[in-house]
Amino acid sequence: MKPLQKKLSLYTAPQEARAKGVYPYFTPISSEQNTEVIIEGKKVLMLGSNSYLGLTNHPKIKEAAIAAIKKYGSGCAGSPFLNGTLDIHIQLENELAEFMHKDGVMLFSAGFQANAGTIPCITGRNDYVLFDERDHASIIEGKQLTFATTLKYRHNNVEDLERVLQKCPIDASKLVVTDGVFSMEGDVANLPEIKRLCDQYDATLMVDEAHGLGVFGSEGRGTCDHFGILEGTEIVMGTFSKSLASIGGFVATDKETLNYMKHAVRPYIFTASISPASTASVIAALHIMRSEPERQTALWDIQRYALKSFQDLGFEIGNTSTPIIPIFVRDNDKTFAVTRMLLDEGVFISPVISPAVPADETLIRVALMATHTKEQIDFGVDKIYKCFKKLNIL
Instruction: Give the CATH fold of the 10-46+293-390 domain.
Output: Aspartate Aminotransferase, domain 1 (3.90.1150)
Confidence (pLDDT) at 221? 98
Domain boundaries of the chain, sorted by first residue: 10-46+293-390, 60-291
Separation between Cα atoms, residue 164 and residue 373, nearest integer Å: 45
Is residue 348 within 8 A of residue 30, CB to CB? The reply is: no
* DSSP alpha helix (H) spans, the chain: 3-8, 13-19, 59-72, 87-99, 111-122, 137-145, 158-165, 191-200, 223-226, 255-262, 266-269, 276-291, 294-312, 332-344, 374-390
Residue 205, SS3 per DSSP: strand
**Best CA proximity match to 252, nearest among 180, 350, 161, 332:** 180
**What is the model's pLDDT at position 356?**
77
Note the pLDDT of residue 282: 98
**Is the CB of residue 380 less than 8 Å from the CB of residue 308?**
no
Buried b (16+ CB within 10 A) or exposed e, 292-317: beebbebbeebbebbbebbeeeebeb
Give backbone dihedrals phi and psi of 149, rounded to 5 degrees, phi first: -75, 130
3-class DSSP assignment, residue 9: coil
The number of residues making up the chain comes to: 394
- The CATH T-level fold of domain 60-291 is Aspartate Aminotransferase; domain 2 (3.40.640)
**175 membership: H or E segment, kind and range:** strand 174-179
Handedness of CA 355, 360, 362, 368 (dihedral sign): negative
Q: Which residues of the chain have pLDDT under 50?
A: none
Separation CA 183–CA 138 (nearest Å): 12
pLDDT of amino acid 114: 98
Positive or negative: CA dihedral 85, 88, 89, 94: positive
- pLDDT at position 355: 78
Q: Which residues contact 387 (CB under 8 A, 6 or more apart)?
A: 338, 341, 342, 345
Amino acid letter for position 193: E
pTM summary value: 0.97
Q: What local confidence, expressed as pLDDT, does residue 219 receive?
A: 98
Predicted local confidence at residue 357, as pLDDT = 82
